[in-house]
């Protein structure tokens, strides 16, 4: 192992230990002291943040690679069933539709669903009740009609 490789392995081991300590509830000052961070708690915190960011990037890259493999598989399956599907053969047609649906979900191509919101008019009694609740939360005096 070369010097730079040894240093990278040392940094990775320290980061891993720092993450484990933090997950166990150890505070940043203690982590910095135990693992010899010269910059104290800030350096320990930044180092852990970098390590977690790198792990996230690795996971994202792996997920993208797996997604590409699955899309290729779906393409191959669709190509195999396509001929009979366009001729109207029911089983092949259903298979192609399921493959297309799966691809859409895998790639996040579904359009967001629209949600309709209905606003109801508040009458004066509701407004008074809301005012009283807000005043009670704030620790103030009750509003009109309050005791």
- Report the pLDDT value the prediction gives residue 30, as an integer from 0 to 100: 94
pLDDT at 114: 76
- Distance (Å, whole) CA 108 – CA 42: 38
- 84 within 8 A of 92, measured Cβ to Cβ: yes
Question: pLDDT under 70 in the chain at which residues?
Answer: 1-3, 119-122, 124, 140-147
pLDDT for residue 24:
92
pLDDT value of position 143: 47
pLDDT value of residue 122: 67
pLDDT number for residue 75: 96
State residue 113's pLDDT score. 73
Please give the pLDDT value at position 144: 52
> Can you tell me the distance from the alpha carbon of 140 to that of 62, in angstroms, rounded to the nearest whole number?
56
Supply the DSSP symbol for 147: -
Q: Are 53 and 64 in contact (CB under 8 A)?
A: no
State whether residue 38 is helix, strand or coil. Answer: coil
Q: Which residues contact 105 (CB under 8 A, 6 or more apart)?
A: none
| Dihedral (CA of 12, 61, 67, 69) sign | negative
| pLDDT at 137 (0 to 100) | 81
User: What confidence score (pLDDT) does residue 110 get?
Assistant: 85
């Amino acid at each position: 192992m070369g010097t730079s490789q040894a240093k990278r392995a040392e940094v990775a081991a320290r980061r891993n230990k720092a993450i484990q300590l933090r997950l166990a509830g150890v505070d940043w000052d203690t982590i910095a002291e135990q693992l010899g961070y010269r910059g104290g708690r800030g350096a320990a915190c930044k180092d852990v943040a970098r390590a977690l960011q790198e792990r996230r990037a690795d996971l994202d890259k792996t997920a993208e690679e797996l997604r590409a493999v699955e899309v290729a598989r779906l393409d191959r399956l669709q190509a195999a069933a396509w001929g009979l599907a366009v001729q109207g053969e029911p089983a092949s047609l259903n298979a192609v539709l399921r493959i297309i649906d799966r691809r859409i979900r895998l790639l996040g191509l579904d359009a967001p669903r629209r949600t309709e919101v209905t606003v109801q008019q508040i009458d004066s009694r509701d407004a008074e009740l809301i005012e009283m609740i807000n005043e009670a939360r704030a620790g103030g005096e009750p509003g009109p009609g309050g005791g």
